[in-house]
Amino acid sequence: MAERRANLRSSEGKAAVKTGAVAAKAVRGKPAKAGGKKKLLKNASIEAAQRTLKLESAGLSELHEALADGLGSPFALAIETIAKARGRVIVSGIGKSGHIGQKIAATFASTGTPAFFVHPSEASHGDLGMITREDVILAISWSGESVELSNIIAFSRRFKVPLIAITSRRKSTLGSQADVCLELPRAKEACPHGLAPTTSTTMQLAIGDCLAIALLETKGFTAHDFKVFHPGGSLGASLKHVGDLMHSGADMPIARDDVDMTSALVTMTQKAFGCLGIVDKKGRLVGVITDGDLRRNMGDKLLRAKTGEVMTKNPKTVTPGTLASAALETMNASRITALFVVEKGKPAGVVHVHDMLRAGVV
């Protein structure tokens, strides 16, 4: 019995020594086995992410080179085909290509090229009626052999609807039937098994963006046009024009350049913009008076001075057509809180930084 107790104490002592050694190892910055495993997993995850980006970047590089080579001519023909179409771009695809197609259609629509996505399975059950002879079909399939696209392909051939293909195989069913085939390089997928669409879908998305931007520039699509399709959110707010936000008419803080500062201060206080626009006898904006000007001229002579003597000449101004985001940038760069809006040299309004913030321009 005494021998058993001695053995037990010996085992407990060894366990305590071992635990203490592990704790000491951790304190010295050397993690125990569990921590080491987590570190290895973390490193492996980062390596996988970097490998994915490297392979997808390589795919985009191959696409860039292809556009300078054999892909350039069909790409230009695709732009010409879509640009001269009187209808819309009908985008279609199945699986991951379908998801990419939905994004491409949305990008087209928001950048001046009317487009929408038609699911190929739904097309076979009545949605082919959404396609007209004046449209252009953009079909996406990496293999070019997606069975679900067969009815859309047949429809386009029967009714002579222009068909543009995005595929990696020109001699596939889709590629051979298309009027224009955008054959993408068969770059290595980032998936280690070569199965999950990764590099391929990245290239599909990229060529879709290339088409959208090339069409945007071909049509002369402007920031003003962009605003029409993006009225909501911070993007819509940044695309507002100064003329949409400015205060005009009787709300403007305006005084002549020969007015006494006593009277000018009353106007400046009433309008509460922290500034006062100064105009000459022809109504042209010749300067501004700000809180800073008042501080710089503080003294007994201030109230007896004329506005033209106190004002800052050649103030920063914008026009009604200036984007609100650009006006806000001018304010930030000049460290001012208000801008006068002018037309033909005369004040048309005033916009304050608070107007920008209320409109969501950030």
Taken in order 331, 335, 340, 343, is the CA torsion positive or negative? negative
In a domain, 115, yes or no: yes
Nearest to 118 by CA among 145, 146, 147, 148: 148
pTM score, whole prediction: 0.62
List, for residues 62-91, the tens digit of each pLDDT value: 999 999 999 999 999 999 999 999 999 999
**127 or 222, which is more confident?**
127
- Beta partners for residue 342, in sequence order: 347
Residue 312 and residue 192 share a domain: no
Rounded to whole angstroms, how far apart are CA atoms 70 and 68? 7
Q: What is the mean pLDDT of residues 312-319?
A: 94
Domain count, the chain: 2
Picking from 189, 221, 253, the residue at the C-terminal end of a domain is 221
Picking from 160, 191, 221, the residue at the C-terminal end of a domain is 221
Q: Provide the CATH number for the domain around residue 202.
A: 3.40.50.10490
Whether 362 has a pLDDT exceeding 80, the answer reads no
Picking from 221, 253, 279, the residue at the C-terminal end of a domain is 221
Q: How confident is the model at residue 304 (pLDDT cuts 50, 70, 90)?
A: confident
What pLDDT was estimated at residue 224? Answer: 67
Whether 195 has a pLDDT exceeding 70, the answer reads yes
User: Range of 87's domain?
Assistant: 61-221
In a domain, 48, yes or no: no
Residue 257 and residue 114 share a domain: no
Rounded to whole angstroms, how far apart are CA atoms 173 and 284? 69
Residue 206 and residue 81 share a domain: yes
Rounded to whole angstroms, how far apart are CA atoms 218 and 80? 9
Q: Provide the CATH number for the domain around residue 334.
A: 3.10.580.10
List, for residues 270-299, the tens digit of each pLDDT value: 999 999 999 999 999 999 999 899 999 888
Report yes or no: 161 and 136 within 8 Å, Cβ to Cβ: yes
- Encode burial over 287-306: b for 16+ CB neighbours within 10 A, e otherwise: bbbbeebbeeeeeeebeeee
User: What stretch of H or E contains 287?
Assistant: strand 285-290
- Beta partners for residue 352, in sequence order: 338
